[in-house]
Amino acid sequence: MEVTELTGLIATTMSVLYMGFGVPAQILKNYKNRSVEGISFFMCVMLFLMCCSWLIYSLLKPDYFVFISNVPGFFAGIVILYQFYVYGKK
């Protein structure tokens, strides 16, 4: 395995772990509290747009490391933005 592939594998693993465990914990907390208080809407929008742009890039390139590492963030971003829509209105 080349250094580039190893680096891509490590980066992909770290990103999937963050998006697969860290963000779902926030989604669950929002759901339990029925609130998005304390979360930056701007940050969530930027996270979602960042994942969208990396997904488009990875499809054009193609780069499976980038694609795999941004798929969880794309879906998590949709869920969190939906939670802002549902729980943000008080």
pLDDT digits (tens, 9 = 90+) for 64-86: 888 988 888 899 999 999 999 99
Cβ contacts of 1-8, under 8 Å, gap ≥ 24: 8/65
Question: Which CATH number is 8's domain given?
Answer: 1.20.1280.290
Report residue 23 as tokens.
Answer: 């963000």
- pLDDT at position 4 over 70: yes
Which residue, among 58, 77, 80, has the nearest Cα to 67 in the 3D structure? 58
The structure's pTM equals 0.78
C-alpha span between 25 and 70 (Å, rounded)? 17
Number of domains in the chain: 1
Q: What's the pLDDT band for 90 if we cut at 50, 70, 90?
A: low
